[in-house]
Structure 1
């Protein structure tokens, strides 16, 4: 096989509850991931070494050196297999970079699936998930797709069956946000407020809304403990959230560490109308309509 192509989806966090800062610098999370139909495409071609190139709307913002998570994923897979392999990775970007939608993690997951197929390793998903967990907290879910609850750093996953499709609009900000800076700001705000940070708890009403496919109920349960920190660093996001609410969104929140803002729509047409409205905001680089859940990456 000379080439393998996979499509890998973005995610939105419909619940992100962040516990106290741990001694290892991480936080315990309750993270309800939801994969949506915004895709990166990862192509793996035969090569003597592992390299990456990037095309698409966000290509100029993606590193092509050792800092690229897809390169790290391919190397980790080769090390796991105990042999020297090569792959020319070509990433076609549609998922925003530094946007809170796990674009880098998606590319890593895509590289794992594509190289596993290209190299004929035949490793099961369970093995790929173990490698993914060492690469980053969001990479295991990017492999899994669908809807799932993540605990620990977010890497321990439990599948959540959903009762139907949900429709979304995403307002992509003109500049990205560093995940590390958002978490640091969250810790700073909590320390300044002097409040005791509770242990994160899963929202049972949110799970029930997902399982029954009740978009209106889900809209009322969306939550993100990092949102205050993202708004502190980027106050203009408040205007974006308010604009989506005025346009009839059932719920609105910052996706993950931001700055992308997610809006739950009543149906596919409403998602398109929301995206059109949001695309005209001065704070918005572009807006996307999507649906979820969608499956994780598979070779084609």
Structure 2
């Protein structure tokens, strides 16, 4: 079948003659002119209602004529339009079916390209010391227009970025461990796009804030000690009497230490502390480390 180059339609514009248009317009104007200024009173209400009835009849007769000829005028086009719409519907249904066939084929090809990219990632990952599961497959790698070379370069670049990020995460974790900071917040900053230098600056800022808070706490605690001591009488030999309660207090020192040594050295220090009479306020479990 040869392709249809042109849809032929024989169309002759119709005409409607309306010889009484001017007379109808004049008649309507004259009738409506009579209704202007009518006032409803006990004497005129019947005449006013009669005038409205006449106007309504005239409106209906005009509308009936318009609807009659409109229907006759539209009937040929309605049949013509219905025929074309039916054919349009057939074409749309066929187009949708073809689209589904094309989409299914392209999706299958995309899945095959995804499988190929995943195999490439699995093969390359050990060379960059990264996990294949951590490498995100980008949509552009699955496009038919993307060359194998571009995919290879893209995968390599992603792995280099992931390798660098893993190394920086390890550095952040080590730095946080050193300063006893929770690493999650700073690793999240790395993953959001901050450089390691920027994250390191955030850590330094947080440490300075911690030191400032610690200094304020020390100053507050020192002021409290001075205030407490001011209300006591020093009787010597490290003894003070609370003037409010009469209790005898002893001025002592408290310090926290983190010790590291052999088992024997730690045991010796523990025995010395017990023997010296120093009170152990708190202690941690022993932890084995290797250096």
TM-score for the superposition, normalised by structure 2: 0.15
Normalized per residue, which structure has more helix? 2
**Structure ranking higher in strand proportion:** 1
Return the TM-score normalized by structure 1: 0.15
- Relative contact order: is structure 1 or structure 2 higher (C-alpha 8 Å, sep ≥ 6)? 1
Larger radius of gyration: 2
